[in-house]
Amino acid sequence: MVTLKQIAEELGISITTVSKALKEYPDVSKKTRKLVRETASMLNYKPNSFAVNLRTRESKTIGLIIPVIVHHFFSSVIKGIIEQAEKKGYLVIILQSNESYELEKKQVDLLLSKRVDGILISLANGTADFKHLNDVIENETPLVMFDKIAKMVKCSKVIIDDRKASYKATQHLIDIGCKRIAHFRGPLLPQNSIDRFLGYKKALLDNGLEYDSSLVYICECGDMSFEEGKLNAQKLLKEHKDVDGIFINTDLVAIGAMTEFMKQGVRIPEDISIVGFSNWFMASVISPSLTTINQPGLEMGINAFKLLYKEIKKKKKNSDFSFKELVLDTDLVIRESTKN
C-alpha cells in the first residue's frame, strides 16, 4: 500500500507538502501540486478512506438487514437499494437475519459499532421486541424500515397497504363465486401477516360471508416455504373438502399448495381457486399461472434508500427532519389459478 511518506521520499519533499498538494491547497505551488498528483497516480496511491472518515465523520456506508436473500421479493428490494445508493456514492453492507430476532439484534449492534451512516431494515418474523431499533434512533443513526416493520418504532417506513391488498385478493375470490374461502397466513408475529389476515377477514364479513377461524392456517415453521404450502394443502384436504378458494400469504407457499393439490387430483381453478401474494417471477411461468398481488420490491428498495438519504443529509446539517410513512400501491394480477 503506497503511503504519503513514500510519495514524499520519491520527490524529496515533506509529507505535509504532499498531503496539502493532494488536497489542492493554494499555498503549494501549482507545479508541485501537479507533480505530486502525477507521482501519486503513477505509484497507484489510494487515499486512506478510513482516515478521511475520521475527519468527515461519514463512512459513506449504510447497513441493510433483511430476513432472507434467496427470495424474489427481497432480492428485488436489494437491487433497488444498491442501485440507488451507488448513485449517491454510498456502499451497502448486507446482512441476513435468517428470520431470527437474536441475530438481527447482533447485526444492528455490529452496524452501529461500524458507524454506518444509516440503517435499512425489514424485520425478522421472530422480532417482537424493538429495543435494538430504538437504540439506533437514540444513537441518532438514521433508520428506515420497509415491508416488515414495527408500527411503534418512530422512524420512516416504506410499506404497502397489506390490509387493502389482501382485501382486494379476497374480494376477487368472492367475485368469481367462491363461497368457502380459506387463508394460509404467515407466522403470528409480523405486522404484515396480521394485516393480510385482517384484510381477508374484513372482505368476508363485508360480503356477508361467515368467518370461520378453522379455515385459517398458520405457518408453523416460521419461514414461508414451498413445503409449508404442501403441508397446509394436505391438512386442508383432510379437514375442509368444501373449500373452493384460498388466499395465500405468499407466492412460494401458494406454489407449494398448488403442487400438492394437483398431485392429489384437485383441479385448479375448477375445484379450488387460488390467489397468492407478492408476484414472484415464478408465478407467471408455472401452470396454471398464479393470480397474485403485485408487490413492488424494486420500488420499495429505491424509496427506502431515498428516505434514508434525505435523513442522513438533514441530520448532517442539523436541519429539522420529520419521519415519513410511504405507502406504495399494489395491484391484483389475474391469471389462470382463479376461475374466469
Q: What is the nearest approach in angstroms of a copy of itself to the Cβ of residue 132?
A: 12
Q: What is the nearest approach in angstroms of a copy of itself to the Cβ of residue 11?
A: 21
Asked if 248 touches a copy of itself (CB under 8 A), the answer is: no
Asked if 43 touches a copy of itself (CB under 8 A), the answer is: no
Name which of residues 162 to 191 contact a copy of itself (CB under 8 A).
Answer: none
Q: What is the nearest approach in angstroms of a copy of itself to the Cβ of residue 129?
A: 17
Name which of residues 190 to 209 contact a copy of itself (CB under 8 A).
Answer: none
* Interface size with a copy of itself, residues (CB under 8 A): 46
Contact with a copy of itself (CB under 8 A) among 82, 145, 150, 266: 82
Contact with a copy of itself (CB under 8 A) among 13, 22, 110, 328: 110
Asked if 76 touches a copy of itself (CB under 8 A), the answer is: yes
Stretch that binds a copy of itself, among 25-33, 78-86, 152-160, 303-311 (CB under 8 A): 78-86
Task: Name which of 71 and 306 has its Cβ closer to a copy of itself.
Answer: 71
Asked if 53 touches a copy of itself (CB under 8 A), the answer is: yes
Contact with a copy of itself (CB under 8 A) among 226, 234, 299, 324: 226
**250-270 burial code (b ≥16 CB/10 A, e <16):** bbbbbbbbbebbeeeebebbe
Q: Describe the crossing of helices 4-11 and 15-22 by its angle, rounded to 10 degrees.
A: 110
Contacts with a copy of itself by CB under 8 A lie at 1, 44, 46-51, 53-54, 59, 61, 69-72, 75-76, 78-79, 82-83, 86, 91-96, 110, 112-115, 135, 138-140, 226, 255, 259, 281-282, 285-287
